[in-house]
Each structure stands twice: as C-alpha cells, then as structure tokens.
C-alpha cells in the first residue's frame, strides 16, 4: 500500500513538471537585423542594353524599396531638358521620360544613395543604370577633385559638368554632355564617356539650370581643355565602404543536460571609412567678385537707425542719402571704410518716432547693358514699435556698453576700447578715474578719450600702461551715455597688463617661393588671428600669443594687392592659390617656437586637417 502511494505521487510530480514545461510561454529571441541593401533581381531593359529605343526603364528588387530625396539625388548624364519621372511601383523603381534620346549616345542614370529598403533603410550605394542608343557603350572615364579655393575644404552640392562644346559661352547657355555630382570627399568620376576633347567645370547650381548664369553661383574651371582617349581604359567604379556594423551570430548554450537552447549574441565590428580618392584633374571653386552696381538691402531694425548696403564700393561715384522736409541736424550718416555700406542715425525724436519715413537714395547702378550710372530711389523705411510687456514695476534701464578690460587683463601695447549699440555722447572725464594700484596705495594715471573716426559707437582710452602693473578703472554713474539721453550705471574694473613672458612666440622660417605672400595665423576653426606680409623668403614673427592650437595658411599674392583675390571666368583668371602648414601647431605657456615652412607646393592641405575641422 505504501509502495503504491509512492509510485502514484511520483507519477503526479512527473506529469506536473511535463505540463509546466509545455505550458511555459517565453518571448522569441528574434533574428539578426537585416543589414543587406536591396538587390536587383531583374530590369527591363537589361542594364547595359545597346540600341535602346524606349522611354521607360523598370528595375525590380528582391524587396520593397523607398526613394529618399530623389529630386535632388537623381541625375541623368547627359542631362535631359525635362527631368525624367522616377517613382515606385510594387518592388520596382520606374524611370519614365518623354524626351527623345540622342543618337549613338550612352546614357547613365545616377541614383547616388536614394534607394533604400522599406523596413530597415539599408542604402543601395551609388546605383547606376546604363543604356546606349547606339551599338557601343562608351567606356571611358574622367576623374578629379574639387576644393573651395580660399580654404581647400570640400564644397557642398557641387555639380561636375563636361562639355564637348569648347566655347566659354557653352557653360552659360547650353546643357553639358555629361554631368555628375561631387561626393563628400571632394572626388568625382564621370563614367561612360566617349573619346574627345572637352571643357571641365564645377558648379554650385543655384537655379537648377545646369548653367553658370548667376553672379552668386560658385564656380570652378580648368584653364585648358582635357582630352579623353581610348588609351584611358575603363576602370570599374571603386567600392564604397561605409562605417558599417556587422552582426555575427554566436551560439550560447544554456539549460540542463537534456535541454539546450541557442541565444543570439550581437558583436559589432566597425569598418573605417575609405581614404579620399585622388582623381586626374583638380579644380578650385570660387565665388566671383560682383561686377554690377546695385542696392543689395535696406533695413530699419531700430527706430533711430537705418542701413543701406551696395553690391560694390562706389569708388569715385557718390552714395547720397536724404530725408525730404527734415530739419537740419535731425540725422547724420556714417559710411563704412569702403563706402559700400551707409549707416544713418536719426537724432530728432519727432522724426524717429514715425512708424514710416520716406527717404531718397542716390547710388551707382549697372543696367542690363552693363552701363553704370546713377539711380535715384524713394524708399519707405518702416519700423513697428514692439508692444511693451505688462510689468508690475518698471526697472530703471541704463546705457549699456562693452569694454575689453572686463576680462581682467590686457596684452602689452593693447588699447582700451569701449563699444556700444548706439552712438556715444562725449564721456564725462570728471567722473572717470584710472589708477595704478600698488600694495598699499593707488596713483592716478592720465588718459585721453578718442572717438573712432568711422564709428560713433566706439571710443578708445589712450594712456601709457606698463607691463606687469595692476590698474583700477572707476566710472561714476552717468559717466558714459548715448545721444538719446540714456546714461550709464557706475562701474569699477580691476585689470592688469600681463608680462610678455607669460605669452608664446612663434617664428616661421618661410622658404622655397619667389613672390609676394601673406602668412596668416588662424585658430582651430580657421578664424584669422594675425597676418604678416612678405615679399621674399625669410623669417616672420607672431609675438604675444596665448597658449593653444593654431593653423597656418599662406596666400600667394600674385597681383600684389595684399588680399586674397578670387577667380574670374570671363578673364580666364584662377583664384589666387593658398596652402596650409601640414599640421596644427601647439603652443604652451611661455614657449618660443622656431618653425621652418616650405611653401613651394601650392594648394596643399592635409586631408587629416580637413577631416578634423569637419569633425569626421
């Protein structure tokens, strides 16, 4: 009896375990994420078809796909006057066009990275479809690189144009024979080119015309024609390797001796991006200097201030402004150094309180025939006073201005500068004191205020300040003010003149170039810090530098105007070359560094510096 109970209990326990195992529900482990881009399974016609006569191409993939930004990325070479229609049909991409194709011509349809699979967004990189209307698929290629002329960076949204017509006017009026787009590394490749002589251009197309027909379009051109011959054998396009994550399946066993299961473990492997390719031709893209005189803009952002900007300095011509029926002294004007910008300050409250003011402007203007004369415009300048916020109690507002001593120190020889948003009135020197501070005493230091000759919003404090000394600047309330009767609050600033030994000094030995050059010292973001002009090889010095990282650029000043000069296609003039020192220069506190620099190679910039700047 006891034995029977034991057996029955064991059977019940076994059945319970079995049922529990069968009834247990667990979530699926899932599969590997799809990393494979769409695959072409068929096309009508076949890619590479000769004697093509149709007006429709259909490419079918192994999965559903989507088109990303197709209007910008899709291109046809040679271009058609009317862009083909590209759309999705089930698992296919369809290209339709009404324009008759040229005879005996190879057409390439570029998709770049516009084709992706629907589910995971895997990109089919640089897909191209090629057909020929003749019996031959043209198989030659043209490769090269395009860089921005003034900083040798990679230009964005640049087209590469190849013209069989050799006249300069072709790029302004006609479509090119071949076209492609510059890639992210500055490299381009035009495939399926027939033998012949061509003109090669780069263009940042502002109006989608595929022509260089606007003055504000960036442009690049070769000085001479290029010859594409059959000796240049077709080379397959390079594989594009992306920074991809590869997922591997690893089996991990778990469970009892009678039960195993497999779990999927993801292992990520990073594949680095490729080094930028170097093509056969190098072009340098520039924005040409404006040639036509016209009014660029006019604005009235403040009730008492107006701005007028011209496209070019008026040189010997006049740039005149007036307000009809205004009283004498109710406004004054401040032209910029080159006189291409005119700032107007309204000083009469009865005038600047008006929401709109009629003004007369007389300035140089170039007509459609290229003739420059005077144009007179009546311009209505409007200002809408913003509604004042509702506040329980209005705080007293003071005249605000900036200075360069609030940081606590100046470099030896540096002048004290005061800047404001509105014109200063004459500072009240009786309320302003400058002291030299010693351990237990302070001594007055004589000074003089000098107004900037071009800018009424800037004043200089002229005085003699000694290295290593400490100073105190004190200004009582209402010491400073503007012409609109706003006064400053009281101010006290302690500062010192740093010892030259705490700064860095960089001496460059420039060699291997004959001619004028501008040596520029830049920060890491390539903002200009200082520059020295040289007419021959030798040493140049940058003193009193803060510790940090710097870059160096040389401008080869071919025309001797002490400026970087851009290109001019109508004159066949390339932009002036530049080059960079191969690496950034690191300076630490108190360092004096002597550095040789061979500037014999023009238009050089290490790709690592370019990538570092762009944060790649």
- How confident is the model over 84-94, as pLDDT tens digits? 999 999 999 99
C-alpha closest to that of 128 among 40, 235, 69: 40
CATH of 140-228 among 1.10.286, 1.10.3470, 2.60.40, 2.30.30: 2.60.40
What value does the mean pLDDT take over residues 162-190?
Answer: 94
What digits encode the pLDDT tens for the residues 438-456? 988 899 999 999 999 999 9
Instruction: Please tell me the predicted confidence (pLDDT) of residue 277.
Output: 86
Question: What is d(CA 608, CA 142) in angstroms, rounded to the nearest whole number?
Answer: 26
**pLDDT at residue 481 tops 80:** yes
CATH of 503-614 among 2.60.40.10, 3.40.50.12140, 3.90.1150.10, 3.40.630.10: 2.60.40.10
Query: What is the model's pTM?
Result: 0.81
Instruction: Please tell me the predicted confidence (pLDDT) of residue 276.
Output: 74
User: Which DSSP state fits 501?
Assistant: G
Residue reference for tokens 């400073």? 480
What value does the mean pLDDT take over residues 272-294?
Answer: 86
Instruction: Please tell me the predicted confidence (pLDDT) of residue 390.
Output: 67
Q: Are strands 548-556 and 281-287 parallel, antiparallel or unpaired?
A: unpaired
Burial 88-125 (b: 16+ CB within 10 A, else e): eeeebbbbebeeebeeebbbbbbbbbbbbbeeeebbbe
Question: What is d(CA 438, CA 158) in angstroms, rounded to the nearest whole number?
Answer: 62
Three-state DSSP class for residue 53: coil
Question: What is d(CA 523, CA 553) in angstroms, rounded to the nearest whole number?
Answer: 11
| All structural domains of the chain with their residue ranges | 140-228, 295-382, 401-500, 503-614
**pLDDT at residue 478 tops 50:** yes
What digits encode the pLDDT tens for the residues 560-603? 999 999 999 999 999 999 999 999 999 999 999 999 999 999 99
**pLDDT at residue 184 tops 70:** yes
C-alpha closest to that of 611 among 244, 185, 155: 185
What value does the mean pLDDT take over residues 462-468?
Answer: 95
Instruction: Please tell me the predicted confidence (pLDDT) of residue 236.
Output: 54
**pLDDT at residue 197 tops 90:** yes
Instruction: Please tell me the predicted confidence (pLDDT) of residue 253.
Output: 39
Question: What is d(CA 428, CA 151) in angstroms, rounded to the nearest whole number?
Answer: 47
What value does the mean pLDDT take over residues 309-323?
Answer: 95
Instruction: Please tell me the predicted confidence (pLDDT) of residue 35.
Output: 80
Say whether 503-614 and 295-382 share the same fold.
yes
What digits encode the pLDDT tens for the residues 482-521? 999 999 999 999 999 999 999 999 999 999 999 999 999 9
What CATH architecture applies to the domain 401-500? Sandwich (2.60)
When pLDDT is cut at 50, 70 and 90, the band that residue 112 belongs to is confident
Instruction: Please tell me the predicted confidence (pLDDT) of residue 254.
Output: 39
Instruction: Please tell me the predicted confidence (pLDDT) of residue 231.
Output: 75
What value does the mean pLDDT take over residues 45-57?
Answer: 95
C-alpha closest to that of 339 among 366, 318, 368: 318
| Strand intervals (E) in 370-431 | 372-382, 401-403, 409-410, 416-420
**pLDDT at residue 259 tops 60:** no
Q: Using an 8 Å Cβ cutoff, are 305 and 352 in contact?
A: no
Three-state DSSP class for residue 8: helix
Question: What is d(CA 557, CA 510) in angstroms, rounded to the nearest whole number?
Answer: 15
H/E segment holding residue 7: helix 2-23
Question: What is d(CA 500, CA 467) in angstroms, rounded to the nearest whole number?
Answer: 8
Residue by residue, DSSP assigns 143-170 as EEEEEETTT-PPPSS-EEEEESS-STTH
Question: What is d(CA 49, CA 41) in angstroms, rounded to the nearest whole number?
Answer: 16
What digits encode the pLDDT tens for the residues 214-257? 989 999 999 999 999 987 655 555 443 333 333 333 333 334 43
φ/ψ (deg, to 5) at 235: -115, 125
CATH of 295-382 among 2.40.128, 1.20.120, 2.60.40, 1.10.3470: 2.60.40
**pLDDT at residue 317 tops 90:** yes
Instruction: Please tell me the predicted confidence (pLDDT) of residue 271.
Output: 39
**pLDDT at residue 388 tops 90:** no
3-state per-residue secondary structure call for 274-319: CCCCCCCEEEEEEECCCCCCCEEEEEEEECCEEEEEECCCCCCCCC
Beta bridge partners of 302: 305
Beta bridge partners of 145: 187, 282
C-alpha closest to that of 93 among 138, 126, 60, 123: 60
């Amino acid at each position: 009896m006891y034995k029977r109970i034991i057996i029955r209990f064991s059977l019940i326990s076994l059945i319970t375990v079995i049922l529990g195992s069968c009834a247990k529900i667990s979530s699926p482990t899932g599969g590997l994420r799809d990393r494979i881009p769409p695959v072409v399974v068929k096309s009508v016609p076949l890619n590479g078809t000769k004697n093509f006569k149709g007006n429709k191409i259909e490419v079918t993939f192994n999965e559903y796909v989507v088109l990303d930004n197709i209007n910008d990325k899709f291109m046809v070479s040679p271009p058609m006057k009317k862009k083909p229609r590209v759309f999705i049909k089930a698992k296919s991409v369809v290209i339709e066009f009404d324009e008759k194709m040229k005879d005996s011509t190879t057409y390439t349809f570029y998709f770049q990275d516009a084709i992706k699979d629907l589910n995971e967004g895997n990109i089919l990189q640089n897909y191209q479809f090629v057909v020929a209307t003749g019996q031959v698929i043209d198989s030659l290629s043209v490769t090269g690189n395009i860089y921005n002329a003034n900083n040798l960076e990679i230009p964005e949204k640049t087209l590469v144009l190849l013209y069989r017509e050799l006249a300069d006017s072709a790029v302004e009026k006609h479509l090119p024979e071949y076209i492609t787009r510059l890639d992210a590394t500055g490299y381009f490749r035009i495939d399926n080119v027939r033998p012949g002589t061509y003109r090669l251009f780069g263009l940042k197309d502002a109006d989608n015309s595929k022509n260089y027909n606007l003055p504000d379009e960036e442009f690049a051109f070769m000085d001479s024609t290029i010859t594409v011959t059959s000796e240049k054998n077709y080379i397959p396009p390079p594989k594009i390797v992306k920074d991809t994550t590869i997922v591997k399946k690893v089996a991990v066993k778990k469970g009892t001796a009678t039960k195993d299961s497999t779990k999927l473990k993801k292992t990520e492997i990073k594949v680095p991006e490729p080094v930028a390719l170097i093509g056969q031709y190098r072009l340098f893209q520039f924005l040409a200097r404006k040639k036509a005189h016209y009014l660029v803009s006019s604005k009235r952002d403040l009730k008492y201030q107006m701005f007028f900007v011209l496209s070019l300095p008026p040189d010997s011509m006049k740039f005149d402004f007036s307000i009809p029926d205004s009283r004498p002294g109710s406004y004054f004007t401040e032209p910029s150094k080159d006189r291409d910008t005119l700032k107007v300050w309204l000083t009469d409250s009865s005038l600047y309180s008006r929401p709109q003011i009629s003004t007369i402007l007389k300035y140089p203007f170039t007509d459609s025939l290229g003739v420059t004369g005077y144009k007179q415009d009546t311009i209505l300048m409007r200002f809408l006073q913003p509604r004042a916020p509702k506040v329980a109690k209005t705080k007293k507002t003071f005249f605000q201005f900036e200075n360069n001593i609030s940081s606590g120190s100046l470099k030896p020889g540096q002048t004290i500068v005061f800047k404001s948003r509105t014109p200063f009135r004459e500072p009240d020197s009786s309320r302003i004191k400058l002291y030299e501070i010693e351990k237990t005493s302070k001594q007055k230091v004589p000074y003089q205020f000098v107004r900037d000759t071009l800018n009424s919003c800037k004043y200089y404090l002229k005085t003699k300040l000694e290295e290593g000394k400490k100073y105190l600047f004190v200004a009582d309330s209402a010491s400073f003010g503007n012409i609109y009767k706003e006064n400053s609050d009281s101010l006290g600033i302690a500062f010192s003149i740093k010892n030259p030994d705490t700064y860095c000094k960089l001496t460059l030995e420039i060699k291997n170039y004959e001619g004028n050059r501008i040596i520029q010292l830049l920060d890491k973001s390539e903002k200009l810090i200082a520059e020295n002009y040289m007419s021959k090889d030798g040493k140049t010095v940058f003193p009193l530098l803060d510790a940090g990282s710097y870059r160096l650029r040389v401008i080869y000043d071919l025309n001797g105007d002490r400026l970087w000069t851009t290109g001019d296609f109508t004159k066949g003039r390339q932009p002036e070359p530049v080059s960079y020192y191969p690496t950034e220069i690191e300076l630490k506190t108190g360092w004096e560094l002597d550095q040789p620099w061979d500037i014999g190679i023009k238009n050089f910039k290490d790709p690592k510096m370019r990538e570092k700047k762009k944060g790649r």
